[in-house]
Amino acid sequence: MGNFTFDEINLMCIYNTGTKEGLMDALKEMRGYLGPDEAELLALTDSTLEKLSPMSEADFEALELYPDFDGKEDENAE
């Protein structure tokens, strides 16, 4: 079901509209504003769109697209 990276999930959290189609439209619109100096974000957006495209709406709805405010680095903290 996608195998999204941490960065791809974060990108989807930022642009999530509640539907797969809405998210893809928002990512495509944002992509159009990227300049040549933003190659990393462009590649991240493209990989996210490639993984989203074949997903069913049900699989998309099963994704937990909530920002991780704790951060990956804090997993072992206590």
| Predicted local confidence at residue 76, as pLDDT | 42
Whole-number Å distance between alpha carbons of 52 and 48? 6
Total domains, the chain: 1
**20 and 78 Cβ atoms separated by less than 8 Å:** no
Question: Does 57 reside within a domain?
Answer: yes
Question: Does 1 reside within a domain?
Answer: no
> Can you read off the two tokens belonging to residue 61?
């709805």
**Tens-level pLDDT at each residue, the chain (78 residues):** 569 999 999 999 999 999 999 999 999 999 999 999 999 999 999 999 999 999 999 999 999 887 666 655 444 444
Residue 54 sits in a domain of what CATH number? 1.10.10.1850
Question: Does 78 reside within a domain?
Answer: no
Question: Does 75 reside within a domain?
Answer: no
Whole-number Å distance between alpha carbons of 60 and 62? 5
**44 and 22 Cβ atoms separated by less than 8 Å:** no
